[in-house]
Amino acid sequence: MRRFLLWDYPRGVWQYDVIVLAILAFIFLTPRQIFRDQPKAVQIAQLPQENGADVFWMEPELLLPLAESARPEAAARLLKGKFGRDRVVVRLEPVFDSEKEIKGFFVYSRP
């Protein structure tokens, strides 16, 4: 057992091959759910400035449940929570896909 744990076998012997096979099996056969290693989408992302305004991308689930008139205020609150500064939302543009479903929002703001 000591030789196995310390990988004390020379290359080319069957014990070495078994250890390599066990490592590869662990890497490729272990499901992601065991380690809870799921990619998480960024819900708010800062984009390059445009005409002096800061531009942010927001996922649709953050603003869609709200009435259209309440979205700018909610976007300002979300930006303050994420970046820690008060911002005035100048413009909120929905982004549509080819089927006219909203895929996100461009939020234009000033400090």
> Per-residue pLDDT tens for 63-108?
999 999 999 999 999 999 988 889 899 999 999 999 999 999 999 9
User: Torsion angle, CA of 87/90/96/100, rounded to 10 degrees?
Assistant: 120
**Are residues 51 and 100 located together in one domain of the fold?**
yes
Task: Please report the pLDDT score of residue 71 as a whole number.
Answer: 94
Residue 28's φ and ψ, nearest 5 degrees, are: -90, -20
Task: Please report the pLDDT score of residue 93 as a whole number.
Answer: 94
**Are residues 101 and 76 located together in one domain of the fold?**
yes
Residue 91, strand partner residues: 108
**pLDDT tens sequence across 51-67:** 888 999 999 999 999 99
Q: Is the pLDDT of residue 41 over 80?
A: no
Helices (H), the chain: 2-6, 14-29, 32-35, 60-63, 71-83
Task: Please report the pLDDT score of residue 38 as a whole number.
Answer: 67
With contact defined as beta carbons under 8 Å apart, do 6 and 16 qualify?
no
Q: Is the pLDDT of residue 42 over 80?
A: no
Decide: pTM greater than 0.95: no
Mean pLDDT of the chain: 89
Range of the domain at 18: 2-35
Number of structural domains in the chain: 2
**Are residues 104 and 69 located together in one domain of the fold?**
yes
Task: Please report the pLDDT score of residue 40 as a whole number.
Answer: 66
**Are residues 59 and 85 located together in one domain of the fold?**
yes
